[in-house]
């Protein structure tokens, strides 16, 4: 009799807890959401996060507060999200390097992108442009390849740091063109571009949104773009594919992530809100004006992209024997 009474109490407690948990998901969100950006304030990831947070706050009827946690190539902020409570109140901006590159590059991450994080939605993808100084003797891909083969290991390319899309784009190009060049890493992409414009390095794979103003101002000369096709913003810049290097396709991307085990209904609600925010015409115009492809879609779509990108860049990092600083 006592055992039966205890069992009934146990069942009642489980029922109450299950009901409370389900109710919490149904009513989500009931308080502000923290959106962790794994880079410093003022950068592209930070700006886009703030723009989307503003739109999604109106949709979800709760504030979305940006928290910058920069450092270690995006690993610090991404790890923070991975270890946060899986309740939907801590999410993050997940980027190319910490989700698809750093596991292979660093080898000792304290989070596993595949098992510790839940994709929410892809926000955008953007190509890079191979640029040189306007006074450079290199005017085409053929010029660069010929010079690199004539004097292996003498041409230089700049980047915003080891393991980022600047360097990996160049590494992918070198592997496909069978050439070797010298990597010159800087503390930021802007510092690298400044030195390129000063004529201190030979070339750089620069983010399109960052390269565009300098190209238009004739401060940089474009050679080729890493998207599959030419950009409507710069129809005169050929793609690597049409120049004979179809595998040199790079799209730097970012999207929202949550801790693993975040309930599916919450992930779906965040996905729905982000998809709705991405329909905002003002935001779309801004993203397209920067040469980016607008994301969207399901969490599963984003998960598939992360998986394919991880496979691709893991092979590039290993083949190039790229090591962290």
Tell me what percent of the residues of the chain surpass a pLDDT of 70.
92
What pLDDT does residue 207 have?
94
What pLDDT does residue 23 have?
47
What pLDDT does residue 8 have?
56
What pLDDT does residue 17 have?
46
- Domains in the chain, CATH or no CATH each: 30-125+252-319 (3.40.190.150), 127-225 (3.40.190.10)
List, for residues 138-148, the tens digit of each pLDDT value: 999 999 999 99
Tell which residue, 172, 154, 155, has the closest CA to residue 163: 172
Task: Please report which confidence band the pLDDT of residue 11 belongs to, taking 50, 70 and 90 as the band edges.
Answer: low
What pLDDT does residue 5 have?
53
Q: Under a CB-based contact definition with an 8 Å cutoff, are residues 25 and 56 in contact?
A: no
- Output the CA–CA distances (angstroms, integers) from residue 315 to 1, 174, 310, 322, in the order listed: 64, 14, 9, 11
What pLDDT does residue 24 have?
47
Please, what is the Cα angle at 173 between 167 and 179, to 5 degrees?
105
Q: Under a CB-based contact definition with an 8 Å cutoff, are residues 253 and 271 in contact?
A: no
What pLDDT does residue 20 have?
43
Tell which residue, 74, 77, 102, 111, has the closest CA to residue 91: 77
Q: Who wins on pLDDT, 188 or 183?
A: 183
Tell which residue, 221, 247, 34, has the closest CA to residue 129: 221
| Spatial separation of the C-alpha atoms in residues 5 and 85, rounded to whole Å | 34
List, for residues 88-128, the tens digit of each pLDDT value: 999 999 999 999 999 999 988 999 999 999 999 999 999 99
Tell which residue, 299, 308, 307, has the closest CA to residue 120: 299
| Spatial separation of the C-alpha atoms in residues 135 and 120, rounded to whole Å | 45
* Least confident stretch, 70-74, 262-266, 302-306, 316-320: 70-74
What pLDDT does residue 108 have?
85
Tell which residue, 230, 91, 242, 102, has the closest CA to residue 165: 102
For residue 161, whether the previous peptide bond is cis, meaning omega lies within 30 degrees of 0, is: no
DSSP-derived pairing of the beta strands 117-132 and 251-259: antiparallel
- Check the CA dihedral 296-301-302-306 and report its sign: negative
List, for residues 273-321, the tens digit of each pLDDT value: 999 999 999 999 999 999 999 999 999 999 999 999 999 999 999 999 9
Non-local (6+) Cβ contacts of 59 within 8 A are: 273, 276, 277
Mean pLDDT over each residue of the chain, to the nearest integer: 92
Tell which residue, 248, 227, 88, has the closest CA to residue 169: 248
Q: Residue range 246-270: average pLDDT?
A: 97
What pLDDT does residue 26 have?
66
Q: Residue range 161-180: average pLDDT?
A: 96
What pLDDT does residue 194 have?
95
DSSP, residue by residue, 280-313: -HHHHHHHHHTTPEEEE--HHHHHHHHHHHHHHH
What pLDDT does residue 22 have?
46
Task: Please report which confidence band the pLDDT of residue 14 belongs to, taking 50, 70 and 90 as the band edges.
Answer: very low
Strand partners, 68: 37
């Amino acid at each position: 009799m006592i055992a039966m009474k205890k069992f009934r109490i146990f069942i009642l407690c489980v029922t109450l807890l299950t009901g409370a948990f389900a109710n919490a998901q149904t009513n989500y969100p009931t308080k502000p959401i923290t959106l962790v950006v794994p880079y410093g304030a003022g950068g592209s990831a930070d700006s886009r996060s703030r723009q989307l947070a503003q739109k999604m706050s109106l949709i979800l009827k709760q504030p979305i507060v940006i928290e910058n946690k920069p450092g270690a190539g995006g690993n610090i902020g991404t790890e923070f999200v991975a270890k946060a409570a899986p309740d939907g109140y801590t999410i993050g901006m997940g980027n190319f390097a910490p989700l698809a590159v750093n596991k292979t590059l660093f080898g000792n991450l304290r989070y596993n992108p595949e098992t510790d994080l839940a994709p929410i939605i892809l926000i955008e993808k953007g190509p890079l442009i191979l640029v040189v100084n306007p006074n450079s003797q290199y005017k085409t891909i053929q010029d660069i390849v010929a010079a690199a083969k004539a004097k292996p290991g003498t041409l230089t390319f700049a980047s915003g740091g080891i393991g980022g899309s600047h360097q990996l784009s160049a590494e992918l190009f070198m592997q496909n063109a069978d050439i070797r060049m010298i990597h010159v890493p800087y503390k930021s992409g802007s510092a690298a571009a400044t030195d390129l414009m000063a004529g201190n390095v030979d070339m750089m794979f620069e983010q399109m949104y960052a390269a565009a103003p300098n190209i238009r101002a004739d401060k940089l000369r474009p050679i080729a773009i890493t998207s599959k096709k030419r950009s409507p913003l710069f129809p005169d810049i050929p793609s690597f594919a049409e120049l004979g290097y179809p595998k040199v396709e790079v799209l730097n991307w970012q999207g929202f992530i949550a801790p693993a085990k975040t309930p599916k209904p919450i992930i779906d609600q965040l996905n729905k809100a982000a998809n709705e925010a991405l329909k905002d015409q003002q935001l779309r115009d801004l993203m397209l004006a920067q040469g980016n492809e607008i994301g969207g879609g399901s969490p599963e779509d984003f998960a598939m992209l992360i998986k394919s990108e991880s496979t691709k860049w893991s092979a590039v990092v290993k083949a190039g024997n790229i090591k962290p600083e």
